[in-house]
Every structure is written in C-alpha cells, then in structure tokens.
Structure 1
Amino acid sequence: MLRRLTAFRARSRWVVVGLVVLLVAVAGVVTWRLTRDDASRFAAAAALAPASSERFSWTDWAGVREEVGADVSASSSTDELADFLLAAFDHDLSSATALEESAPTLHSTFGFSPANVDWELFAQGKDGAVVILGMPDDYDFDDLRSRLEDIGFEKPDRADGVWLGGVDLLETLDGPVTPELAALQIDEEDGIVFGSDEPSFLEERADKARGDVSDGVAAVIEAAGPALSASAYTGDQACSALSMGGADPADRTRAAELIEAAGEVHPMTGFAIAAQPAGDVRVAMAFESEDQARTDADSRSKLAAGPAPGQGGTFTERFHLGKVVAAGDTLTMDLEPVDDAFVMSDLNHGPVLFATC
C-alpha cells in the first residue's frame, strides 16, 4: 500500500485526493485498495512502527529530492550523493534521518540510500528501535538479496524472515553503517525494508505494530500536514525530550517566569514538528480536551513570540509566528523561518520553551 503512495506526489498542482476505497471481487476474493494524499504518507508509515514507539523521525526522501532539485538515483556517484545530502542539510531537511553517516556505504554496497529510497521512518521506544524504508516502485529486491548474501548476511528460511548480519559484520565494511541495519526484513509486496539492531524485534514487528490507532501521536502527525522532514513524540516523551529540565538553572528560572506571565499550559498527549514544502515549518500539539487546546493556543503562542531560554536569543530571531489554530483537541502553529535559520533541527530537541509541559 505504502509503495503506491508515490503516485500522488505531484506538487505542481493541488489535487485533494480523498480516501478511495475500491472494492474488486475476483473469483470470490474481495480486495481493498487505499489511495492517500501526500499528507498521509507519514501517518501510513507510522502505523507500521511498533506500538511501543515513543519518537518517530520521518524523512520523505523523494520529496526532499524534489524540493532541492536533486537529480540523483541508485546509479549516481557517491560524490553526487554527498552533494545532495549537503543540499538537504542546507534546506534543513535531513535532521530526522538515521541514514546520513551511513549513506555512502549503503549507496555503494547495499544498493539503497537517500539517493533512491522513497521515504524513511526511524521509530524509537523503550522496547527497541526500527528503521522502516519505503522503496521506489522499480526497486530490484532480488539485487538487494544478492548484495546481502555477498556482504555476509545469513539468508532466512522464508521470504519474510529476518536477514541476520550483526554489528560485527557491519564493522568489516568500507565505511560506517548504522547498527539499526544489522538485521533486515524485506516486504517485497509492499516495497518496504525494515531494519533493527535486534533481530527478535523484527520477528515480532508485525504483531506489535501501532496500526490505525487513534491517539495523540496520530493526531499530531495528521495535523503536521505534508511533511518532508518531521519528528513526532508521545506526550510523555515530548515532556521529557523538549522540557526545560536540560537547561541551566538561570534559564529554568527565566522560563518559569515567562510561563507564569503567558498563562496556563497543559501536558501534551502528542507533539510534532514538520518541515513542509517551500520552507515553512508546522508544530502540532495534542491535548486531553478542546478547552486545553484553546487555552494553550493563547499561552504557547505568547511563549513562541518571545525569549528562548535554553536555546539562546529569541524565537523571533529564528522564525515569524504565523497562524495558531486550535481545532478540537489539537493545536497547530505555523512558523516561517527567517533567512539562514535552521528551525526544524533547532527545535526538534529540547529545551524548547513553548513546548514545555
């Protein structure tokens, strides 16, 4: 299903593609096909992540290549790949990837990299982490299997089994490869490759996926819109990773004063920050109720337009605050980065005052 999402990536025209359900009966078999718009790519990928995941790091590599005007592919040189990654960095579109340092080795040895992968999701939680890669429609999975055998991965007994490599094997390669690709699982039907440093985590992955769950994470991912690069957190993880707890005592004191002046803020049930096409950034926060979202729309917008203790300087030196909207129990803030500001990479980790709990 995810493999087919690329058909709806044409940003040259605004086409709103709703959820289309095609019912086909062939020889008594009923088949459902779901088609989705760009905004749902992150959501569809997150549904594949383990239910225990607390942080979701998303990169729409096909979208990033389009955004920066990069004409790279699996046949590109490693120098061309490096130029593309530099352009992605300059556009602040590579801070969420788990593949950047591994990219040259992946490109030359594994046959996939940010040059040709469609999208990437890196999901982390207390039970483990998994990298999920959406491959292009024309990707040659037989070539991948052959490459894995040549590298030294142990071939599984069944098609959907786990290819066992290990960190020690990866360290014998010509360049670094993230440990999250020490074990791999191939889903050729859906065009997806799963990776983890824990083979058992992959074996249990399908049975423990989030699926179509309705929670704070799902709400903020939906509200984030068509994200090229994004980070999403559960409420508890956001309150830990983005809190002022990591700031020095003077900054924590200043933050407390600013929060008191801004008004009441409530704990979040989900948080996301997403870099969108054309350079804007959207922040989404989910709460327990509509009343909390409306209250926090006022207080957090004040915090987002003032000093940035823990980050240094002010938020207005980084972005212009646009629309702040409370819709149901979800709050969104549109941020327009100032020239040369790296808003996405600066604010996807703490301390971030306006994301405090």
Structure 2
Amino acid sequence: MRNRWWAVVAVVAVLALLAGVAWWWRTLQQNDFQRAISWAPPDAQRLTFTDWGDVRRELGVEIAADAPSGEVSAFMTRAFDRDLSSMSALPESTEVMHERFGFSPATLDWELLSQSQDGAVVVMRVVEGTDFEELADRLEGLGYQRPEDEDGVWVGGIDLLPRIGTLTPELQFLALDEGQRVVVSSDTQGYLEQALPAVTGGEGGLDGLDEVVDASGEPLAAAVFDGEVVCGRLAMGSAGDSDQDQADQLIAAAGRVDPLTGFAMSAQPGGGVRVAMSFESDEQARANADSRARLASGPAPGQGGDFADRFTLGRVTAEGSVVTMRLDPLAGSYVLSDLSSGPVLFATC
C-alpha cells in the first residue's frame, strides 16, 4: 500500500514538473505582445497595448532615465503624431511619472491596459536592471503607503495624486513585482488585488482571443476586443439612426456577415495597420473575408466620408477562422485611434 502511495506521489510530481516545463517553454516562445496579453485578468474584455521600447526604436529615440522633461515631451509628441500613443493610459502622466516615479512611457518596455465590467488595471513592464528597492523608496517618498507584504498594494488614493502632479486616476493604487519586472496599477484597490494573481501567480490569459493576438504579430500598439465588446461598442450599435440605416444598406449589399468572436487592430512596424477578426468557423472566415473587404472599401458611416479617405486597403486573407486585413494609412490620418473607438462598419456583427 505504501509503495502504491509513493508511486502516486511520484506521478503527480512528474506531471507538475512537465506542466512547469511546458509553461516555461510557452513563455519563452512568446513575444512581448503575447506575454502581456497572457498576464491580463481573465475577465478583461478590452485591452490596449503599447510596446514603448519598440516605439522608441521606430522613432529612432533613446531617452535616459534622467533626461529633461523637454526631451520626454518631444518624444511623446512624435509618438502622438505617428498614432503610436493612443492605446496608452499614460500620455498625460508621462512627464510627471518620468520625473517623480523614475519610470514612464519614455523608458518602459511596454504597457497593457485591461478593462472589464468590474474595473481596469495597467501592467507596466520596466526595463531590465530597474532597482525595485529604489523604486519602493520613491513611492514611499511620494506619499504612497508601503504595504506590510512586499507583494501587497501601495495605497495612494485620489487625494494623493494632485500633490504629486498631473496623473491618471489609474495610478492611485500600485503593486510591485520584481520577479516579473512589472508595476501594476488601478484606480481601485479592490480590483487591483483581484487582478494581481493574473500577473504574479500565472493565472492570467483570455479565452477565445489567442487567434487574433497571434495574427497581430509584434505590434507597436494594439487594441483587442472580445466578441461582446466589439459587437456592442465598436460596431455600428454606437452610431446614430441615419448612419445605422446607411450601414444596413451597405451590409446587405456586401454579402454574408457573421458575428465576430474577437477583434484586434494594431499599428505595425513601418507604418501599416493590421486588423484581425476571428469567427466561429473557417467557413465563416472565408465568406467574411470578401464581405468585410467590401465594407472596408466604401463609405464609413459614423466616421464620415469614406474609408478610402483614411487608408488604402491592402491584402485581405482568411487563414483558419481568422481574417486579416492590411490598412495603409494616408498621410495625416489616425487610423488606429479613430477606428479602435467606433463605430466601425467593417467590424459589424
């Protein structure tokens, strides 16, 4: 009996080891975008990602930790002009963060904003070599209450932020994870505590969005929506009555349109924008590749004018249950920021 018990223990130990090795291998193979999404709270429905390190490389900019505020401001202006900062929760906070916190979009590796019906959380990955003890001392000096446990929540609150400077409410409560090299923040303590296991405990990741995330490659900035959000907020439901009537006519002429299960729009290196849309089946994706291409080539009710005023539609493909579209923005257009907030005809459900 005792030998059988030890055999069971050995099997469980081996399975746990194999699971750990598999997790480590998957993590090693992930790019920054995939890794960030894998740390999102499981209830997240809308995510926005900015790879600040790659944005700086795209713009040919290097910013030191002690760079003056004018240099930081100039970088953020260039990022805005290239439509590479609109997915961030932090642009208006950047200069104060850089000076007072010791990290900001000017120096972060990347940032992920996750939003759900219950709350929002920002995951900020700092650069390798960041001194977390120094970071903790900075926060305490700014007025955040140091938690009893090192993985606890630093309490700031709405009254503290104005004393520090112009900061987004998402920086009211913070948590530090030196092992993952991240600072996690939220505007509510309860939701931050609820979301932390996704980052610190490996309990993150979203069901049903892996396909559009993988199809987005290694973006500079991206927005990701689950089916409920894209069909309820991004699509034509947010448009006025006359725009919805026009949309109905355009959709009827375009052909078959099926509900989306996931949606991602991303700014790619070199200036292009990629759209990824997932469907219930491969057959739906093939049919929708044609209809969505027609919708993306004509009028843009709810946006005004035509989509051709904003971008040139490039290659549209269906691979498996995912349709991808390449959009080449015209000079002076802000395709990612404009079309990630709706209403968007080609994202209709």
* Matching residue of 1:197: 187
User: 1:32 deviation in Å?
Assistant: 4.1
Residues 79-115 of structure 1: CA deviation (Å, up to 9, x unaligned): 1111000000111101100000111111111111111
AA aligned opposite 2:194: E
CA distance in 1, matches of 2:225, 2:203: 16
Please state whether the residue corresponding to 2:92 is helix, strand or coil. coil
Please say if 1:220 is aligned against 2:239. Answer: no
The answer (yes or no) to whether the contact 2:37–2:206 under 8 Å persists in 1 is no
AA aligned opposite 2:64: S
Please say if 1:35 is aligned against 2:25. Answer: no
AA aligned opposite 2:167: V
The answer (yes or no) to whether the contact 2:41–2:204 under 8 Å persists in 1 is no
1:167-246 counterparts in 2 under 5 A? 167-173=158-164, 175-207=165-197, 211=203, 213=205, 215-246=207-238
User: 1:211 deviation in Å?
Assistant: 4.7
* Matching residue of 2:6: none
Please say if 1:63 is aligned against 2:85. Answer: no
Please say if 1:314 is aligned against 2:282. Answer: no
Please say if 1:334 is aligned against 2:339. Answer: no
* Matching residue of 2:87: 96
Structure with more helix by fraction: 2
Please state whether the residue corresponding to 2:270 is helix, strand or coil. helix
**Scaled by the length of structure 1, what TM-score is found?**
0.87
User: 1:36 deviation in Å?
Assistant: 3.1
The answer (yes or no) to whether the contact 1:59–1:94 under 8 Å persists in 2 is yes
Cα distance change, pair 287–212 in 1 and its aligned pair in 2 (3 A): farther
Residues 245-298 of structure 1: CA deviation (Å, up to 9, x unaligned): 222222111111000000121111110000000000000011111111111101
User: 1:118 deviation in Å?
Assistant: 0.5
CA distance in 2, matches of 1:248, 1:269: 24
Residues 296-324 of structure 1: CA deviation (Å, up to 9, x unaligned): 10100000011111111111111111111
Paired residue total:
326
CA distance in 2, matches of 1:46, 1:329: 20
* Matching residue of 2:121: 130
Give the unaligned 5+ runs of structure 1: 1-28
Please state whether the residue corresponding to 2:159 is helix, strand or coil. helix
With 118-127 and 73-82 compared, the bigger mean Cα shift is at 73-82
User: 1:214 deviation in Å?
Assistant: 6.6
Residues 110-146 of structure 1: CA deviation (Å, up to 9, x unaligned): 1111111110000000111100001100212122111
Residues 197-221 of structure 1: CA deviation (Å, up to 9, x unaligned): 1222222324456857573322111
Please state whether the residue corresponding to 2:263 is helix, strand or coil. strand
CA distance in 1, matches of 2:204, 2:145: 33
The answer (yes or no) to whether the contact 2:101–2:138 under 8 Å persists in 1 is yes
With 259-268 and 134-143 compared, the bigger mean Cα shift is at 134-143
The answer (yes or no) to whether the contact 1:252–1:309 under 8 Å persists in 2 is yes
**Scaled by the length of structure 2, what TM-score is found?**
0.89
Higher Rg: 2
AA aligned opposite 1:268: L
Structure with more strand by fraction: 1
CA distance in 2, matches of 1:88, 1:289: 37
The answer (yes or no) to whether the contact 1:74–1:113 under 8 Å persists in 2 is no
- RMSD (Å), alpha carbons: 1.8
Please state whether the residue corresponding to 1:105 is helix, strand or coil. helix
Among 252, 257, 265, the residue aligned to 2:249: 257
* Matching residue of 2:4: none
CA distance in 1, matches of 2:24, 2:344: 43
